[in-house]
Amino acid sequence: MIEIIRRIESEAQEALARAETGEALQSLRVAFLGKKGKFQDLFKDFGAVPADQRKAIGAELNRVKDWLEQAIATAQARLENKGTDAQFDGTLPGVVPQTGSIHVLQQTIDEITSIYGRMGFEVVEGPEIETEFHNFTALNIPLNHPSRDAFDTFYTTQGHLLRSQTSTVQVRVMQSRKPPLRVVAPGRVYRPDTVDASHSFMFHQIEGLMVDDKVTFSDLKGVLHLFLRELFGSAIKLRFRPHFFPFTEPSVEVDIQWGKGWLEVLGAGSVDPNVFEAVGYDKSRVRGFAFGLGVERIAMLRHGITDIRHFYENDIRFLRQFA
């Protein structure tokens, strides 16, 4: 009986190879698997098989029948697909998932804080509504300094002010923690500047602070160089230019080479001993450095944005570009 099964199998193989239309497949199915088909006959004969052979022959019979059913289905599918080839247009646009975007200022903050994060700086925050002490006095800004005027700082009816720099966070962190410290503090700052292409009355800064028993100006240079190379690429050229800030001494502005000229990207310096004194540190035992940078400025440089107002208008055509 095994031989008969095998013969029918090879007959079916030949018939399958010849069947090139749906009708041919259909008659093939009837001829082999139909009610009066060849397998039906085989099953009838199966009744006469001696008991000791039933298992082997039964298995073989089922195997060939299953194979044929599968083979017919596959052939059927292949024939059907032939018909749809012409209809399928692979150039139809993909359905793009509807995604939004993270604001480019936030991406800039994330990128900068993550670089400092890799150098062991923790991200901290402080209030935006501040006291004169935190915004000026503790930062060694004299009482009669112009920046304290209402022309340069927003004041509230309760006698507080809107911080004009994130350096306030330095003061808060030092007041609440002991050295060693390594922190970066991103956030909003406010100055009563008339809004134009390069000014806004609200913008973002990132302040950095490191305090330890031995921290030098050389360390400051090393850290800033590493940071700027990571942010602008290792080919970036920079220069350290002496400057003045009340809360650092020595103070420095860092310029990067941009086109043919130099562009200032951040201000920094060794923490002024008066600042340590104001927060209650022993100024003879600690040293530190601080730096501050404008997030908008960095983002404008990196992305070639020429008008600061784009950041706050939130036009989706703008936002989407940085998705």
Partner 1 sequence: MKVSTNWLRDFVTLAPPITRIADRLTLAGLEVKKVDQIDDLQDTVFEIEITSNRPDWLSHVGVAREISAVEALSLKMPLLDIEAGRTPPAGWKIHIKDAEACPYYTGVLIEGITETRTPEFMVQRLLACGVRSVNLIVDITNYVLLEYGQPLHAFDADLIQGREIQVRKAKPGERLLAINDATIELNPNDLVIADSDYAIALAGVMGGKKTEISDRTRNVFLESAFFDPGRVRRASRNHQLSTDSSYRFERRVDPETVDHGRQRALSLIKQYAKPGRISSPVKAGEKPILRVKQVHIREEEIRDVLGCDIKPNQVASILTKLGCEVKQHAPGSWKVGVPSFRADLERPVDLVEEIARIYGYDAIPETLPARAPVSLTENPRLKLERRLRNLLSGVGLHEAVTFSLISDRGLDEKVDLASAVRIVNPLHHGLHWMRPTLVTGLLDAVQKNVNAGADSVPLFEIANVYSAGEAQKHPREERMLGIMLYGKRAAPNWIDHSREASLFDVKGIVETILGGASEGGWKLQKIHKSYLTPSTAREFVVGAERLAFLGAVSPEVCARWDLKGSAYYAEISLDKVAGKAGNVVKKFREWPRYPAVARDLSLTVKDEVPCEALIKEICELGGGLIRSVSLFDLFRGKRIPAGYKNLAFRMVYQSLERTLVSEEVQKLHDRIADTLVRKYQAAFQQ
**Please, which of residues 156-195 interact with partner 1 by CB under 8 A?**
156-158, 160, 162, 180-182, 188, 190, 192-194
Site string for partner 1, 11-50 (x = CB under 8 A): ----------------------------------------
Cβ proximity to partner 1, 242 vs 304, nearer residue: 242
- The whole-angstrom separation of Cα 31 and Cα 28 is 5
151 binds partner 1 (CB under 8 A): yes
CA separation, residue 317 to residues 37, 199, 295, 313 (Å): 68, 22, 21, 11
149 binds partner 1 (CB under 8 A): yes
Among 16, 236, 240, 303, binds partner 1 (CB under 8 A): 240
Tell me the closest approach of the beta carbon of residue 61 to partner 1, in angstroms: 33
Tell me the closest approach of the beta carbon of residue 151 to partner 1, in angstroms: 7
Q: How many CA atoms lie within 13 A of 261 on its CB side?
A: 3
Which of the ranges 11-19, 43-51, 64-72, 243-251 carries the binding residues for partner 1, by CB under 8 A?
243-251
Tell me the closest approach of the beta carbon of residue 171 to partner 1, in angstroms: 14
Q: Which residues pair with 212 in a beta bridge?
A: 287
CB 241 within 8 A of CB 227: no
Candidates 288, 291, 268, 293; CA nearest to 277 is 288
Candidates 110, 92, 53; CA nearest to 231 is 110
Q: What are 200's two structure tokens? A: 């806004």
- The whole-angstrom separation of Cα 312 and Cα 203 is 9
Segment 65-94, which members bind partner 1 (CB under 8 A)? 92-93
Tell me the closest approach of the beta carbon of residue 294 to partner 1, in angstroms: 14
Angle between helices 22-33 and 51-84 (to 10 degrees): 170
98 binds partner 1 (CB under 8 A): yes
Segment 296-315, which members bind partner 1 (CB under 8 A)? 311-315
- The whole-angstrom separation of Cα 269 and Cα 291 is 6
Cβ proximity to partner 1, 32 vs 245, nearer residue: 245
Cβ proximity to partner 1, 79 vs 202, nearer residue: 202
Among 155, 229, 256, 257, binds partner 1 (CB under 8 A): 155
Which of the ranges 18-26, 163-171, 209-217, 229-237 carries the binding residues for partner 1, by CB under 8 A?
209-217
CB 156 within 8 A of CB 129: yes
Q: How many CA atoms lie within 13 A of 151 on its CB side?
A: 3
Site string for partner 1, 107-146 (x = CB under 8 A): ---x--------xxxxxxx-xxx-x------------x-x
Among 4, 60, 71, 101, binds partner 1 (CB under 8 A): 101
- The whole-angstrom separation of Cα 237 and Cα 257 is 5
Give Cα 118 distance to the centre of its chain.
Answer: 16
What amino acid occupies position 200?
S
Which of the ranges 54-62, 63-71, 212-220, 228-236 carries the binding residues for partner 1, by CB under 8 A?
212-220
Among 42, 206, 223, 308, binds partner 1 (CB under 8 A): 223
Q: Which residues pair with 204 in a beta bridge?
A: 188
CB atoms within 10 A of CB 96: 6
Number of residues that bind partner 1 (CB under 8 A): 83
Which of the ranges 10-18, 68-76, 154-162, 228-236 carries the binding residues for partner 1, by CB under 8 A?
154-162
Cβ proximity to partner 1, 125 vs 307, nearer residue: 125
Give the 3-state secondary structure of residue 196: strand
CB atoms within 10 A of CB 200: 18
